Amino acid sequence: MSASATSRTFPFKIVLAWSCLVAPLIYLYWEVFQSLGRTWVHVPSYSHGFFVPFVSLWMIWEYRHRLTSIKATPNFLLGMPLMIGACLLLIFGKASMVNIVQQGSLLVMICGMILLICGNHYMAVLSMPVAYLILMFPFLDGLFRQIQWPFQLLSAQMAVAMLKELGIPVLLEDNYIVLPSITLEVVRACSGIHYMVSIIAIVVPLMFIFHRHKGARLLLVCIAVFIGISVNWLRLVLIALWVYYGGENLHGPGHIFQGMFVSVFGFFVLFLAAWGLGKLTAKSPSNGKPSSEKETAAIHYDDRDKVKIAKAWLTALAIILATAGYTYLHSVKPVTLSNDLRNLPTAFGTWRLVNSSRNFLEVFNTREADETFKGIYRNREGARVHLYIAYFELQRQGKEIIHSNLQDLYDVSEGIKITADSVDELPVYTALSSLEGKTVLSYYWYDINGRQFGNNAMAKIYSAVDVVFNKRSNAAIIGVSMPVATKENQYEQEEIIMEFIRESFPVISRHLLNVAADYSDGI
């Protein structure tokens, strides 16, 4: 075959060549795949993640005839920066232990590889399959957390309206549905958006299966969103009716009114709606022929084209291998304290240690710490504060100072600054939370090699910098808590806690700086 001969199979040769990139790519993103798998297994609203990659591959198969009619034209200008950027994101995500950054890096890497090896036209065709992959990442959790409360109220209001129409005596107080015999709380899971991502993940392949008409696809998406929200209204109404008429188990016989069962019912209604729309639009003119029926054009590759594609492929492989080599060789060592936390002083100025374990306020749940200290200190006036310190010799995913276990605390925290000895302003978080029926006032901050942070993002960034440049990730979280009897004395207790922090901070920070003498030799 001459250099200018027609070849429709050449793009598939490129696809086959990509198999050589798979092994180092899997190694590079192995921790990302593991974290995604754990999310899909343990978070019901992301259980659809297992089939998202297969649906994406199926979409690519649907576009196969369009792909074989497009000439691969490597784009070094966009592809290389995207791949390099993806690698830098991965390195930063690993160093800072931020899952979402590492997962986002995988998506950027896929886009970069397509652009670098195949070019813009391929990226345009594959934009839908690649964009669909977003649904397997928990990117939208932060957004959903912000809008859950309004949707909780909406679900409660709609459920109460339905119950009143059925003649049930009911009152609404914020997110509480008050019935004659019981009061029901509409929690976050009842907001109606809990399974929204799953529903969207189902809608996209349904659009491909049942509909070619753009109007029908848009209508199906709107129906899916309405089903995702309204199915929880129905669930609340069924629970209320069940308990009103004497049902004992809140979630019905056999837990039939649990969220997962209702979501399955919602999926069934969605399939029914997609099938019905497919029937209604079957005779409507489609927006062009299906991809499998389109004509494919001949593609001509000369020697220069083949050399350029080979260079792009080798460049992609080199970027992946270089990053994999860096992550393998860049080992982070644990940093132990030369004097463990048990040897902290029993007195800070006017404060004396009176109890180290009994009746301690367990506000901070950092079970994976290498060393912990819990102590109750009392001053001359009899005021008591609870001091908690958790030290991590080596942070890694799931074992870190900033952890999802404390998300409820983060949600009610705000940053402030207080003056303390040996530092002009100490940045801290303050939070008013509930613990076992008690209202607890807490102040906490992070200590990373002598630097203090009262901001989660800044602590993450500095930890990542420490990992990349100093090959260490040791850090500590320090928390001071105090039960609040009434709101009237909250300000007084704030002053008490800040007084304790001012007297204890210099001693605690010096203690955390005393690391093992042989650590610097290992660096």
Where exactly are the structural domains of the chain? 10-138+302-329, 141-280, 341-522
Which residues are within 8 A (CB) of 272 and not within 5 positions of it... i.e. 6 or more apart? none
What is the per-residue pLDDT for 96?
Answer: 83
- Residues 251/187, Cβ–Cβ less than 8 Å: no
Residue-wise burial string across 14-48, b where 16 or more C-beta atoms lie within 10 A, e elsewhere: beeebeebeebbeebbebbeebbeebbeeeebbbb
Encoded tokens for 338:
């030369």
Helices (H), 43-139: 52-62, 64-67, 76-96, 99-117, 120-125, 127-132
What is the per-residue pLDDT for 287?
Answer: 44
What is the per-residue pLDDT for 68?
Answer: 80
What is the per-residue pLDDT for 210?
Answer: 64
Report d(CA 244, CA 242) in Å as an integer: 6
Q: With CA atoms as reference, report the closest residue to 509 among 377, 364, 356, 345.
A: 345
Report d(CA 355, CA 366) in Å as an integer: 20
Task: Quickly list DSSP for 329-368.
Answer: H-------BSS-GGGS-SEETTEEEEESSTT-------TT
Query: In terms of DSSP bridges, do strands 423-435 and 171-173 run parallel, antiparallel, or are they unpaired?
Result: unpaired
Q: For 363, how many CA atoms within 13 A lie in the half-sphere containing its CB?
A: 31
Maximum distance among all alpha carbons in the chain? 95
Question: What letter represents residue 140's amino acid?
Answer: L
What is the per-residue pLDDT for 373?
Answer: 92
Q: With CA atoms as reference, report the closest residue to 98 among 354, 457, 362.
A: 457
Please tell me the pTM assigned to this model.
Answer: 0.76
77 vs 4, 87, 236, 316, CA distance in Å? Answer: 26, 16, 54, 13
User: Residue 186's CB: how many other CB atoms inside 10 A?
Assistant: 24
**What is the pLDDT tens value at each position of the chain, 523 positions in all?**
444 444 444 455 655 676 778 888 998 999 899 989 988 888 877 888 898 999 999 888 888 888 888 888 999 999 999 999 999 999 998 888 888 899 999 999 999 999 999 899 999 999 989 999 998 888 777 666 677 777 778 878 888 888 888 888 888 887 788 888 788 877 766 655 666 777 778 878 877 776 566 677 777 777 777 777 777 777 788 888 887 787 666 665 555 556 556 667 777 777 777 777 767 766 555 444 444 444 445 566 777 888 898 899 899 999 999 999 998 888 888 899 988 898 898 899 899 998 766 678 888 877 788 999 999 999 998 889 999 999 999 988 778 888 878 888 888 899 988 876 666 788 999 998 888 778 899 999 999 988 999 989 899 999 888 888 888 889 999 999 998 877 667 788 888 999 999 999 989 998 998 775 454 443 3
Q: With CA atoms as reference, report the closest residue to 78 among 133, 24, 116.
A: 116
Q: Can you point out the beta strands (E) in 358-422? A: 371-378, 384-392, 413-420
Q: What is the DSSP letter of 252?
A: -
What is the per-residue pLDDT for 388?
Answer: 94
